[in-house]
Amino acid sequence: MDSVASSKILCAVDMGESTKSVLQWANLFAIQQDRRLAVEILHALWIDVPLYFTSSQITELASHIRNEKATVESALHKIARTSLSPEVDFRINIVEGDAISAIDTRLGQDPVELIAMGTHGRSGANRLLLGSVAEHVLRIAQPPVLVIPPGIRASDIGIRRILCPVNFTERSRLTLDSCSHLAQRFKAELSILHVVEGEADIGLTKSKLCSWISDDVRSRCEVSEVVRKGSAAEQVIRTAVETAADLILLRAEHRPFLEFTTIGTTTERVIRHSPCAAYVIPIRG
């Protein structure tokens, strides 16, 4: 990778089925910038060393780790060459340890502009869990996080329709502004969704939404307004399906809880069940 390319997309991959998809999605963002973005592919190689190992066994294990690193690096090179455009520079970073520690260490070094990662496919009650690594990254990340669900076919990878939920707050206005720039960059249609609860009048709310959207947003992309009633997370997911959204843009409000940081319930639920990729902008405070 060219050492002068300081702007990076960090792709955290686990060598599972999602690895190729994560790199293909990262490629969309790397080649759509006015300036070039490089891709750093991070993989954590976890090997647990038993306490009872002798010195000779540890030496043998070290040799095995070196061979495993070489095998993984070769495999990632092949995937990267077929997933990234020729003009996108990339670097492979394989580290020993667990994934969460590896990502934490990497994010503590030089900054990245975007983190791309996949989630594990689950069914039934297990869909209540997003995955410890993805949840952790969403809690601590400073840059936006691109979350790729399983099962997206290569032919479906593209950004033609974006869904942006809003709630009339000033922070939501800023999020919409970012979303409209993203839609402009990809020449995508933008659906702006507001979900009402209780007895609110949908017609009046839609009129308010139409007037709330600025002329600047409308000048950047084709806009449609959608108002739904019900559970926010459920209506976001339903609208994403009905509009065939390729990307949902969400705010992740980081809230302190004891010594941990949490993200909003609606955001978390949408990401767990999203039928498409999610672009999550962290907001602290």
Higher-confidence residue of 179 and 152: namely: 179
Higher-confidence residue of 57 and 145: namely: 145
8-148 CATH pick, 1.10.760.10, 3.40.50.620, 3.40.50.300, 3.30.70.260: 3.40.50.620
- CA-CA distance, 274 to 285, in Å (whole number)? 26
pLDDT at 17: 83
3-state secondary structure of 83: helix
Say whether pLDDT at 2 is over 80: no
In this structure, the strands spanning 38-45 and 8-12 are: parallel
Residues 6+ apart with CB under 8 A from 146: 25, 26, 29, 114, 115, 116, 117, 277, 278, 279, 280
Q: Which residue in 40, 24, 19 sits closest to 94, CA to CA?
A: 40
Tens digit of each residue's pLDDT (9 = 90 or more) over 45-103: 876 656 666 777 666 666 666 778 888 999 999 999 999 999 999 999 998 888 888 99
Q: Which residue in 264, 265, 266 sits closest to 282, CA to CA?
A: 264
Structure tokens at 31: 């080649």
3-state secondary structure of 232: helix
Q: Which residue in 81, 135, 96 sits closest to 264, CA to CA?
A: 135
* Dihedral of alpha carbons 51, 55, 60, 61, sign: positive
Q: Which residue in 155, 152, 148 sits closest to 133, CA to CA?
A: 148
Say whether pLDDT at 3 is over 90: no
- Distances in Å between the Cα of 173 and the Cα atoms of 10, 25, 190, 264 are 27, 26, 14, 18
Residues 6+ apart with CB under 8 A from 99: 12, 14, 44, 46, 133
How much of the chain exceeds pLDDT 70, in percent? Answer: 82
Q: Which residue in 1, 106, 115, 112 sits closest to 44, CA to CA?
A: 106
List, by residue range, all CATH 3.40.50.620 domains of the chain: 8-148, 158-284
pLDDT at 61: 63
Mean pLDDT, the chain, rounded, equals 85
- CA-CA distance, 252 to 5, in Å (whole number)? 28
- CA-CA distance, 127 to 132, in Å (whole number)? 13
Looking at CATH, the fold of the domain delimited by 158-284 is given as: Rossmann fold (3.40.50)
Question: What does pTM read for this prediction?
Answer: 0.85
